[in-house]
Amino acid sequence: MADALRERTARLLTDYLEYCAREPGTPARAPSTPEAAVLRSVAAQVQQRHERFLSDYRGYGGNRVELVAQVEREILAHPQPLSWGRVVALLTFAGTLLERSPSGTYSNLGPDQELELGEWEAGVRQDCRHLVDFLCNRLTGQHRAWLEAHDGWDGFCLFFTPMLPSSWKRLLAQALLSCFTAVILIYFWKRLL
């Protein structure tokens, strides 16, 4: 029997980590799911807020999976309650490790270094798959009960998405005020007749 939460988690992680691992300047594919769109948006805000810290990890050449495992143990530790914010922090960090340096950085490389760059890019693709597996196993294994208690990825979307977009709020307020005004006008019109 298929595990819907695991499949959805794997799809979300694959979408986000491949989005992060794309070459600089390459147009991003559209998010594959609503939760992927929300994650990209929230992660971009986290990256913007913590640019100084995260920039040190762009183009990371070490063992990305091991580093994410260490960070996961710290961020999602048992004594501290799990939260969507902690999940986003972990996923943002993992995505940052896969980000490539700006394309201009590699323009003056020699032939030996270009081979290293090619190997590095192959390593990014491989680590992307390994990180999807690792994070999917942790989120749908050790943290499954928490995910299910918080409505899974639907709960994630609800947590980070306002109930109504601001344009809808304005439209709703205008409609309610119009109705209220119409009721008052009808009331006074009937009193005058």
Rounded Cα distance between 73 and 173, Å, is 46
What integer pLDDT is reported at residue 75 of this predicted model? 86
Q: What percent of the chain is predicted at pLDDT more than 70?
A: 73
Confidence (pLDDT) at 106: 40
- 3-state DSSP of 95-134: HHHHCCCCHHHHCCCCHHHHHHHHHHHHHHHHHHHHHHHH
φ, ψ dihedrals at 13, nearest 5°: -65, -40
pLDDT attached to residue 158? 93
pLDDT for residue 166: 59
**How many angstroms separate the CA atoms of 121 and 113, rounded?**
12
Q: Which of 175, 161, 168 is CA-nearest to residue 38?
A: 161
**Stretch 48-73: mean pLDDT, rounded?**
90
CB 118 within 8 A of CB 23: no
Asked whether residue 169 carries a pLDDT value surpassing 50, the answer given is yes
What pLDDT is attached to residue 7?
Answer: 97
For residue 93, the model assigns a pLDDT of 96
pLDDT, tens digit, 9 for 90 and up, residues 63-82: 999 999 999 988 887 677 88
Nearest to 76 by CA among 31, 134, 2: 134
pLDDT of 135 reads 97
More confident residue, 107 or 28: 28
pLDDT over 90 percentage in the chain: 53
What's the rounded Cα separation, in Å, for the pair 5 and 148?
A: 9
Look at residues 146, 143, 147 and name the one whose alpha carbon lies nearest to residue 134. Answer: 143
pLDDT of residue 61: 79
Kindly tell me if the per-residue pLDDT of 28 is higher than 70. Answer: yes
| Rounded CA separation 33/39 (Å) | 10
Q: For the residues 143-160, what does the mean pLDDT come to?
A: 95
Give the model confidence (pLDDT) of 95-129 as tens digits: 999 997 654 344 334 455 543 666 767 778 889 99
Q: Give the other-Cβ count within 10 Å of 35's Cβ.
A: 23
